[in-house]
């Protein structure tokens, strides 16, 4: 896989737990580098408010689907 090691390790862990990951890396990789760099605070590791807004946009549909599925049980 072309994913960075931390992402692969997390995917492996989630698979062992029977948890399907919500993928945001493909959406992030589609952004131009200049825009991507504006989504982080100064440490370049943690997302800023706009980064979190996009993260919620990318993960929201899958989370709501999961919540709805769980509520139907």
| pLDDT the model gives residue 1 | 54
This prediction's pTM: 0.74
| pLDDT the model gives residue 73 | 65
| pLDDT the model gives residue 71 | 72
3-state SS, the chain, equals CCCCHHHHHHHHHHHHCCCCCCCCHHHHHHCCHHHHHCCECCCCCCECHHHHHHHHHHHHHHHHHHHHHHHCC
Residues of the chain with pLDDT under 70: 1, 73
């Amino acid at each position: 896989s072309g994913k960075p090691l931390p992402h692969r390790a997390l995917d492996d862990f989630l698979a062992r737990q029977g948890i399907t990951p919500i993928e945001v890396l493909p959406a992030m990789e589609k952004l131009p580098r200049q825009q991507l760099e504006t989504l982080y605070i100064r440490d370049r590791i943690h997302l800023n408010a706009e980064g979190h807004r996009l993260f919620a946009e990318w993960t929201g549909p899958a989370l709501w689907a999961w919540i709805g599925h769980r509520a139907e049980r």
